[in-house]
Structure 1
Amino acid sequence: MSRPFFYISLAVNKLHGNLPPNLGLVLPSLETFLVGGNKLSGPFPVSITNASRLVRFDIAYNSLTGPVPLNLGILGHLDTLNFGQNQLGNTIPNDLSFLNSLVNCTGLRLLQLTNNGFGGVLPDSVANLSKRLTFFRADDNYITGSIPQEIGNLARLEYLAFHDNMLGSSIPQSIGKLSNLQGLYLYTNSISGEIPSSISNITQLSILALAENMLEGSIPIALVNCTKLQGLDLQLNHLTGVIPEQIFKLPSLNIAIFLNGNHLSGQLSSQVGNLINLGKLGVSENKLSGEIPAALGDCPVLEFLYMQNNLFEGTIPSSLQWLKGIQVMDLSQNNLSGHIPQFLGTLPLVRFLNLSHNRFEGEVPTEGVVFSNVSAFSIVGNTKLCGGIQALKLPACPKEAPGTRRSNFPLRMVPLIILPVVLLLACLSITLYRLRRSKQQTSSPPVLPVHYPRFTYSDLFQATDGFSSTNLIGDGRYGSVYKGVLDSSGQTIAVKVLKLQEHGANQSFMTECNALGKLRHRNIVKIITSCSSTDLQRNDFKALVFDFMPNGSLDSWLHTTRVEEQDSRNLNLVQRLNIAIDVATALEYLHYHCDIPVIHCDLKPSNILLDGQLCAHVGDFGIARFLLASTDSLSRTQSNSIGIRGTVGYVAPEYGMGEGVSTQGDIYSYGIFLLETFTGKEPPGSMFVDNFSLRNYVETAFPDRVMEIVDPRMRWKGKENSKQTKEDEVDITKAELCLASILKIGIRCCAELPRERMNVRDAAVELQRIRKVFLGIGRKQVVTFH
């Protein structure tokens, strides 16, 4: 008779106290032990080494203390080892000696030691860990010494993080052997030497974060081989030389380039204009000179521009007026001169403009949101400025004195000269305007890859009958959605036309294209193509084209106000449960199965679309974010610029306190969506005021009075199976148990604290189990509520 095995998953609860010291003795056949996200304390259970069949061991996000046993390597079947976010280690030289024994764990794929008290050096044996290792984090500790020279032996690594330690020496050349690496995080250490040119061999690299070290030499030109690079952070080092213009030819760079606080010199190349999707650029506190390149105006989605404390000179180029997404622009402490351009006041999203300590002169503009708010801009240290709003207390600008000399030129000749000049200037202006518009239309690269079909404004105009109101099927903050039929194929489509006059609409368009162009899942709305053109009045026009969803949004089913639809647009229990599982499956894909995890940021019923079979598809990725690593410097900068993201009632409470986006934020929204789907109550409804929320409403009735709070329109009809027809009534007790189980998951998902929320993988598995029990599929199980 085979020995039993054990699977224990108690993650993300409120467990406290010590782990049993004899854990491995009483459970020698234990294979999976998941207790992360609790309040456990006490010493590491050394007896775990007796559980010889252990595969997954996750005790992250607790408060365990003390050393880790040195003989963990006898657990030869280990696949996952996660000690992150505890108080393990004693910050002494031999804290990491247990890594020596792990070389015997040839199947190890994930090793996480993040945010503990491990001290001492990384043993050279790290380079001999499992050849299957794909994820290795040892950041936020007290590790000294150097990165092992043969780290390149870990050829399957996809994620390597040693940041926020005390590592020294240089980056080994063998790092270039990690050809599958997507994220390399070594920032905030004391690493010196040059950036090894071998990094250019890591062609899958997406994030390179080497900030706050002591790196010297120049930026390797060979980085141009990293054609998937999205974020480059080299700030606060000792780098010298010019910024290679080849770096600016990487179209993949769309998150950030941070080169601040080095000793870089020369001019900023006009090739920077190639980065049309770049969100942040930082070159401050260097020795850069020359003029600000006009090509910066070709970076339309740039949000943050830091160029302060350099040697830039000349005037602010007029092309910067096209930076419609800019939020912070810092040009202070340079040698810029001339007048402050009026167009800076018309940039719609600017929160802070710093022009201080330059050589600007003349009148300070007063028009626009920025120049009317003294706290939104700074011009100190420009001694030749005048005028502006009263709060600046600058001297009034001198009025032009009337002419004192009379010209001998015959006045009757003036019209004969002025008229041709005016006509010539008018012709030139029209020509330049047409050329500029033509350039914008013809040179703007497609937002989506070339294999997507191309539709013109005319195609979409005809498909929607001129964007007729009769074809309007949805209206949101950033866009209106129309139903259309393509003349060429007869395909029914949904066209989302962006409201470009709305602040953030252009950024929403780019974000949705970047996200949906990389996502492929049956429960995520499929994008057909995008269109970026001009309309009949030559105004900018942007649209997204999707598969048409004949059953509209889930919101329209849950909260229909039309009496004639109250019966026809009603979902029974199983249909709602199917939709909940579809959405959980989509979230699991976004969070765990994409190359870079995607955070939706606005999950709610109006963004969940239903096809002809009532299969759910998550849509509207207009404010979605790619998640790099929750603790890396690029993410910190990105997160700080986000603020509250999402819709009131669905947005996670930590977002309101300035925390960055996370998978747990999406889980909170999912929990609210789940409660709304089965109670029929909207979270921002009139009954939820002050501190009384939808979650409180459900909790007060849970578990004994759940039938009092569920949607009264919902019927207890199951799907057809061998034992019951579609019209048979399901036993009310069974339905009550099912609903209580579902609402319990919703309550856990939208817990106040992120660490107390349920994992979406577990939520999906649990919902699928509930569905099987409710429909009588498989072995009957007992549902309990504790």
Structure 2
Amino acid sequence: MCMSSCLKSTTVPVFANETDHLALLDFKNRITQDPLQIMSSWNNSYHFCNWLGVTCGPSNKRVMVLNLKTKKLSGSIPPSIGNLTYLTGINLENNSFYGEIPQEVGRLLHLQHLNLSWNSISGQIPTNLSYCSQLRVLDATYNNLIGPIPRHLSSLSKLVKLELAVNNLTRNIPAWIGNFSSLHSLSLARNNFQGSIPIELGRLPGLGFFQLSLNYLSGTIPPQIYNISSIYFFSVTLNRLHGSLPPDVGLTLPNLQQFYCAANSFTGPIPLSFSNASQLQILSLTRNGITGTVPQNLASLQGMVSLYFEENRLGYGKDGDLNFLSFLANCTSLKVLCFGFNYFGGLLPNSIANLSTQLNTLTMAGNMIRGDIPFGIGNLFNLNLLVLNGNYLGGTLPHVLGKLQKLNELYLNNNKFSGPIPSSLGNLTTLTKLYMEENRFEGKIPLSLGNLQNLLLLNLCCNNLIGTIPKQVIGLSSLSISLDMSHNFLIGALPFEVGNLIHLTELDLSNNRLLGKIPTTLESCLSLERLYLEGNSFQGAIPQSLEKLRGLEEIDLSRNNFSGNIPKFLIKLVALKHLNISYNNLEGKVPSEGIFANGSEISIFGNNKLCGGVQELLLPTCTRKTPASSRKLHALKIVIPITGMVIFVLVLLYFFPTCFIVRNSRERSLTTSSFEDRKLRVSYAELLKSTNGFSENNLIGSGSFGSVYKGVLSENGAIVAIKVLNLQQKGASKSFITECNALRSIRHRNLLKIISACSSIDHEGKDFKSLIFEFMCNGSLEQWLHSKNDEQHQSKRLRFIQRLNIAVNVACALEYLHRHCQTPIVHCDLKPSNILLDEDMVAHVGDFGLVNFLFEASNNPSKSQSLSVGLKGSIGYIPPEYGMGGQVSTLGDIYSYGILLLEMFIGKRPIDEMFKDGLSIHKFVAMASLEHVMDIVDPSMFFEEDEENANDDIGERQIIKEDPYVHVSSRIKECLISVFQIGLLCSKTSPDERIPTNVVVNEMNAIRDKFLKLEKENRRRRG
């Protein structure tokens, strides 16, 4: 007993300093999570100098270093840490500490290193930190710090590393940072700093690491910074900087290893002097306005690893633009080469085969590259990502693509590839995404695609594929993002193996020739959110098995042969947002619950035996069925009157032909064959009734060839727009035929949908021709851009994002007409009054009375010959070459689009009275400098803010009302500049200088995506 007590007393440590001991225990008490049990060693069984993470001085036994890096700890930093007065280093990196940095840290006069990075620390940087005069390293990267960098920190004269990246610090970057003459690492990225980069930062002679990315900095980069020869890492990505890169940048920064200037507004060429920075490994200039070509002398940088030149204006759209690829073969360490979304033209050179075999990323989307893919591409066997979409590449795919067995993603979409899909693609077993849509592939879907057991997404949409759907492909259980085989010529039944798609989110088999019943195995696809089967010949009842797919948000079963009643389980799909079952053979009562309670979320047109439903559907009231015995009793009463009516109708048909008994074979082909897939047939009498005798109250617009009326068809209650041709007007009949021929074969979400046509005689015996369209409840873009100043129209104001969405919609419609119709179509009359807006403000291009069909004369569709030439279009939107007798081309539509784009964002018509004496809308915008772009925009787009912005900082809504530009200049100006640049490029006088539709679509989508990303980030910062 005595022996054990004596032993115990000798193991109890004698604490050298009780102050340090108590401070550490207080720190321990603040720890709320400790999964690695680090704090278990902090007990009285050991001297605190032996606790994990604690280092003491050898003689005085005072705590000198507290190092708990990456220990998965959670908790707050106590004020008592200021009692550890001998501390020289604190490292809490990569934990989950929260709360504020205590002011008591300022009592640590010996502190040299403070690393709080990768935590959740909030509040402001304490001003008392300035008393830590020995501090050399301050790293608080990846936290939630707010406010400005305190002025008091300017006294930290020994600081060599200041890293405050990824916080919410605000205001300007302090100029006094330039006084830290010993600083060699400065990182302030991903904050909310604004204003210009202080010129004083150029006084940091030893600076090596310079990072200001992801802020809101504007202006130019001070040239003094380019003269800091010690810089090896330079990054100002994602700011609002502009100007050109200095020609001698590679000479003044000889130690440069990584240079990032992406996502700004830099212009001018790529400096040739980069080749003098012999250690350069990464050069990133993505998303700027860089022009010219890629310098061939970059090939001298044999240590180059990554080149990022995407989304600029490099290239001239001509042969030889890609010659630089031949020289880059000398860069034997090259792993990443990205030059998508530029203006590179010409053939893809065979020299691509000589690029570094270490290359893992090659992107060249959204250019004007034509010709075949060289067979030598098979040499790049380490490729993980190959992006070729949005070009003019054609021919058949080389089978050597199957050699790229490390590919994860392959983008071949939006080109002109033809021939069969090579079976060798089945060798790409690591592939996760395969995009092949919108080409001209033909033949059957190769069975070998079923070998792609890691595939998450497969898109074969909009090709000429035939045959049945291989069960090996439809049964790929790895597919989870999307499977799209729509708009092909696939036949047969949907294989039962579709049930293997248990992880799939989207299935699109629309617009094929599939038939039979939907297999019950589809019920296994429990992750399905979007199901598109429209435009096929599926039959039978809508399967009850779909009831199990509780996550379905969109279902489109329209234009099939489904029959029977609307199943009640559709009411129970609480996630369902849109249901389209139009143009089937459904019958019975339409439910009024669930999704059916909102008529705007469902579409049921073309099912003539439906009744009931909510009032806005305008369906007839359901009647009770007559019992069988009663039907027998009244049989004679029914048969006799019906017989009489049939005889009466036959007499009428003999003497008075209806709308669809037309008088010549040409018109018959237009009204029946042209719209053979439209189930609705409408007579003149029906149109007369639906418009109240073509009442002026129903008139919603008029044009050069006729008037448009709003009508309600009695057959199904559909609200439609009825375009009645004024046949007295010269060219009206031809316009009717042209529009019918155009609309018979085109179908796109951003084109106005035609329902039917009527060619007959009216009640006065005169010729009558009309087209019946889907009604657009928000009218035309013209009405919104140039609304009247009366009370009725004062609410018609389009916000910036709405205009941006409409611009993208119209560009997509044009791209479809120009590039994806069997015969390219030129609209010839693109203007605001021909752009209609639906209830969701989605734009639909209409009025195809002046279209031209093009026959390809070369590989360049923009050079196609037209069936007819002449002055086509509306004044202000007509391209100059048409006025000089030039041929109609797709580039003419591009000109009209460019004018439309400028009009949408400055709010002035191209024929406005201000545009005279040689001043055009194009010149007016071109004359505005980048700094004064806000002076020419339409201010009305900034006055109406969403309710979600009601609590913006510093009373933002009130500021907008007083001066809208105070707010938008920081959030929208950059996007507006990009929009105007696209508009100016499209409306160039010379057709050869205009950009093609696919580039327009890519650019406009990029602008919108950037804006939405900024908006999302802005909301996130507001909390």
TM superposition score normalised by structure 1: 0.51
User: Partner of 2:620 in structure 1?
Assistant: 395
Q: 1:343 to 1:302 in 2, by over 3 A?
A: same
- Aligned partners of 2:272 and 2:297 also within 8 Å: no
Q: Matches of residues 11-26 of structure 1 in structure 2 within 5 Å? A: 11-26=237-252
Unmatched 5+ residue regions in structure 1?
408-632, 634-642, 644-687, 697-750, 759-786
Give the partner amino acid of 1:326.
L
Mapped contact 2:537–2:561 kept (Cα < 8 A): yes
Deviations 1:137-176 (A, max 9, x none): 1111111112111211111100010111111112111111
> Aligned with 2:290: secondary structure?
strand
**In structure 2, C-alpha distance between the alignment counterparts of 1:406 and 1:376, rounded to whole Å:** 38
Q: Which residue of 2 aligns with 1:375?
A: 600
Per the alignment, residue 314 of structure 1 pairs with 540
Show the counterpart of 1:191.
417
Q: Which residue of 1 aligns with 2:741?
A: none
Q: Which amino acid letter does the alignment assign opposite residue 953 of structure 2? A: F
Tell me, yes or no, if the aligned pair for 1:150 and 1:172 is still in contact at 8 Å: no
Task: After TM superposition, list the pairs within 5 Å mapping 1:253-652 onto structure 2.
Answer: 253-368=479-594, 370-402=595-627, 404=629
Following the alignment from structure 1 to structure 2, what is the Cα–Cα distance between the partners of residues 365 and 331?
17
How many residue pairs were aligned?
Answer: 424
- Give the direction of change, closer, same or farther, for the CA distance of 1:315–1:114 in structure 2 (3 Å limit): same
Are residues 46 and 406 of structure 1, via their aligned partners in 2, closer, same or farther at CA, if it must alter by over 3 Å?
Answer: closer
Q: Structure 1 119/378 Cα, relative in aligned 2: closer, same or farther at 3 Å?
A: same
Aligned pair partner of 1:162 in 383, 388, 395:
388
Displacement, 1:754? 4.9
C-alpha contact (below 8 Å) 1:243/1:265 kept by paired residues:
yes
Distance 1:756 1:343, change over 3 A: closer
Aligned to 1:87: 313
For residue 615 of structure 2, what is the amino acid of its counterpart? Answer: Q
- 1:690 corresponding residue in structure 2: 951
1:319 is displaced (CA, Å) by: 0.6
- Give the 5 Å matches for 1:13-162: 13-162=239-388
Counterpart amino acid of 1:91?
Answer: G
Is 1:215 equivalent to 2:476 in the alignment?
no
Q: Is the CA contact 2:255–2:277 (under 8 Å) kept in the aligned structure 1?
A: yes
The percentage of counterpart residues that share the same residue type is 44
Residues 757 and 338 (structure 1), Cα distance of their counterparts in 2 relative to 1, 3 Å cut:
closer
Determine the structure 2 residue equivalent to 1:238. 464
Deviation at 1:690, TM superposition (A): 2.1
Note the C-alpha offset of 1:267: 0.5
Change (3 A) 1:91 1:757: farther
Amino acid at match of 2:601: A
1:404 CA displacement: 3.5
Q: Distance in 1 between matches of 2:480 and 2:241?
A: 42
CA RMSD in angstroms, aligned pairs only: 2.8
Partners of 2:529 and 2:496 in 1: how far apart?
Answer: 18
Look up the equivalent residue of 2:618 and give its one-letter code.
K
SS of aligned partner of 1:235 = coil
Q: Are the aligned partners of 2:419 and 2:443 in contact in 1 as well (CA < 8 Å)?
A: yes
Letter in 2 for 1:691: D
Distance 1:263 1:401 in 2: 45
Q: Which residue in the other structure is 2:452 paired with?
A: 226
Deviation sequence 1:263-322 (CA, Å, 0-9, x none): 100100111111111100000010101111121111112111110011111111111111
Aligned twin of 2:107: none
Contact 2:363 2:387 survives alignment (8 Å):
yes
Conservation of the 8 A alpha-carbon contact between 2:362 and 2:385: yes
Residues 9 and 388 of structure 1: is their aligned pair in 2 closer, same or farther, counting only changes over 3 Å? closer
**Aligned 8 A contact 1:67 1:89 in 2:** yes
Decide which moves more: 42-51 or 195-204: 42-51
Give the SS at the match of 1:337: strand
> Judging changes above 3 Å, is the alpha-carbon distance between structure 1 residues 131 and 294 closer, same or farther for their aligned structure 2 residues?
same
* Distance change in 2, residues 1:395/1:91 (3 Å): same
1:106-146 deviations in Å (ceiling 9; x for gaps): 10001010211111111111122101001111111111112
Using the alignment, how far apart are the partners of 1:272 and 1:395 within structure 2? 38
Measured in 2, the distance between the counterparts of 1:399 and 1:168 equals: 61
Deviation string, structure 1 residues 68-113 (Cα, Å, up to 9, x no partner): 2233212211101111121111111111111110011110001010
Structure 1 residues 103 and 403: CA distance shift in structure 2, 3 A? closer
How far apart in 2 are the matches of 1:353 and 1:363?
A: 16
Cα 1:103–1:45 change in 2 (3 A) is: same
**Structure 2: 5+ residue runs without aligned partners?**
1-228, 633-811, 813-839, 841-948, 958-1009, 1018-1023
1:668-703 residue CA offsets vs partner (Å, 9 max, x unmatched) = xxxxxxxxxxxxxxxxxxxx962117999xxxxxxx
**SS of the residue aligned with 2:444?**
coil
TM-score, reference length from structure 2: 0.40
Structure 2 vs 1, CA of residues 242 and 757 (structure 1 numbering), >3 Å: closer, same or farther? closer
Distance 1:693 1:169, change over 3 A: farther
Letter paired with 1:286:
N
Residues 93 and 119 of structure 1 are in contact (CA less than 8 Å); yes or no, is this contact kept in structure 2? yes
User: Aligned partners of 2:250 and 2:629: how far apart in 1?
Assistant: 101
The answer to whether the 8 A contact 1:165-1:189 is kept is yes
Distance 2:249 2:231 in 1: 14
Whether 1:10 aligns to 2:244 is no
Aligned structure 1 segments of 4 or more residues deviating by more than 4 angstroms: 693-696, 751-758
Contact 1:38 1:756 (C-alpha < 8 Å) held by counterparts: no
2:297 is aligned with what amino acid?
N
Distance 2:336 2:954 in 1: 39
- The 1:119–1:329 alpha-carbon spacing in structure 2 relative to 1, beyond 3 Å, is same
**Conservation of the 8 A alpha-carbon contact between 1:37 and 1:756:** no
Question: Which deviates more from structure 2 when the two are superposed, residues 256-265 or residues 49-58?
Answer: 49-58
Q: Of 405, 409, 428, which residue of structure 2 is paired with 1:179?
A: 405
Kindly provide the CA deviation profile for residues 315-373 of structure 1, in whole angstroms up to 9, marking residues without a partner as x: 111111111111110011111111111111221111111111111112222222x1111
Q: In structure 1, the residue corresponding to 2:625 is in which secondary structure?
A: coil
Residue 752 and residue 239 in structure 1: after superposition, are their counterparts in 2 closer, same or farther (change >3 A)? closer
Q: Secondary structure at the match of 2:418?
A: coil
Instruction: After TM superposition, give the deviation of residue 52 of structure 1 in Å.
Output: 2.8
Describe the SS at the equivalent of 2:571. helix
Distance in 1 (alpha carbons) for counterparts of 2:1016 and 2:619: 55
In 1, distance between residues paired with 2:616 and 2:248? 71
TM superposition shift of 1:5: 7.3
Deviation at 1:391? Answer: 2.0
Q: Deviations over 1:464-520 (max 9, x none)?
A: xxxxxxxxxxxxxxxxxxxxxxxxxxxxxxxxxxxxxxxxxxxxxxxxxxxxxxxxx
Shift in alpha-carbon separation, 1:693–1:345, aligned structure 2, 3 A: farther
Q: Give 1:215 deviation, angstroms.
A: 0.5
* 1:531 alignment counterpart: none
Q: Which amino acid aligns with 1:379?
A: I
1-side partners of 2:451 and 2:432: how far apart? 12
Cα shift readout 1:21-77 (whole Å, capped 9, x = no counterpart): 122233344322221122211122122223233211111121111122233212211
Larger radius of gyration: 2
Conserved? CA contact 1:334–1:358, under 8 Å: yes
8 Å Cα contact 1:12/1:756 also seen in 2? no
